[in-house]
Amino acid sequence: MGDPYLRIHIDLGDCDLTAAEEACFAAGALSVTLSDGADNPVLEPAPGETPLWPAIRLSALFTPGSSGPALSAALSIALNLAEAAVSHDLLDDRPWEREWLSDFHPMQFGRRLWIRPGGQAIDAPGAVVLELDPGLAFGTGTHPTTALCLEWLDGFPLAGARVLDYGCGSGILALGALALGADHALAVDIDPQALLATAQNSARNRLTQRLESGPPEVVSGRRFDLVLANILAGPLVELADVLSQAVEPGGRIVLSGLLEEQSPGVARAYAAHFEMKPPVVRDGWVLLEGVRTRERGTMQPC
């Protein structure tokens, strides 16, 4: 474990963001991150937008041994900010991308499915076990929406099914479906880190031969017995036509990542193509299930 890094925090106020970033890098910053400086979270930006908070806090990381007081004073002067707007602390040199392992223990979903980090024992007869390392991509099973999807998968007859996991994150849903008997899964995501984590997790569980991954464009012209999308309400509505056309007649769609008050709007977006079942709610989060009832267009099986 090395010496701690220096971290400078700047509450920008009316200060120009670009000027602040340039000043930090000119002073030797290794990285700069932005966060909400008050209590105005941006939960769901529109596609293509990069929204910022009304009050922004900039945090800049500097090499171990850097002088906090000296850098704070220099940045205050360079940006014409009050001393109180610039603070500093130390950040221990730790493998942050692995910190989740300290709180990640084997978890059971439904009757059979278990998710575990590598090497942890599970004493459960008939258990179907996935070893998961999400890397830097989202998805460990701890979030209520992921848990709802995994429990749904455990209770559904998946033998021989062709599955699409749209917005795959760590690949947890696609891999869970394969472990539970699905024949083939396609995992798609716009984030290359998610596709990398999915590939690594498929190799860890010896499921690579039945898993395909790629960007969303690879879905075009293909149909699946089951489509899973655990993303956000806004994208689910925008993608309703794309996801609906990817489901075989009689197939299923499972949607999650939405809050209870958002579920009626999402259900309406899919009602033209699916018989939507009552929502399943947990801790204010919702899973929606639908059965494809109407044919639309001509597509080829995956």
Tens of pLDDT along 232-247?
899 999 999 999 999 9
Give the total residue count for the chain. Answer: 302
Contact assessment for residue 109 and residue 151, using Cβ atoms and an 8 Å cutoff: yes
What pLDDT score does 296 carry? 46
What pLDDT score does 104 carry? 61
What pLDDT score does 107 carry? 85
The whole-angstrom separation of Cα 191 and Cα 196 is 9
Helix (H) or strand (E) holding 195: helix 192-204
Which CATH superfamily includes the segment(s) 5-94?
ACT domain (3.30.70.260)
What pLDDT score does 37 carry? 62
Lowest mean pLDDT among 63-67, 226-230, 241-245, 296-300: 296-300
Confidence of residue 25 (pLDDT cuts 50, 70, 90): very high
| 23 residue type, one letter | A
Confidence of residue 124 (pLDDT cuts 50, 70, 90): confident
Contact assessment for residue 213 and residue 188, using Cβ atoms and an 8 Å cutoff: yes
Confidence of residue 144 (pLDDT cuts 50, 70, 90): confident
Query: Which whole number is the average pLDDT over 132-154?
Result: 75
Domain ranges of the chain: 5-94, 99-301
What pLDDT score does 47 carry? 44
Third-level CATH fold of 99-301? Rossmann fold (3.40.50)
Biggest alpha carbon–alpha carbon distance for the chain: 68
- DSSP, collapsed to helix, strand or coil, labels residue 184 as strand
Confidence of residue 38 (pLDDT cuts 50, 70, 90): low
Lowest mean pLDDT among 98-112, 152-166, 273-287: 98-112
Query: Which whole number is the average pLDDT over 89-93?
Result: 81
Tokens 């690879």 belong to 218
Per-chain mean pLDDT for the chain: 85
Query: Are β-strands 211-214 and 274-276 bridged in parallel, bridged antiparallel, or unpaired?
Result: unpaired
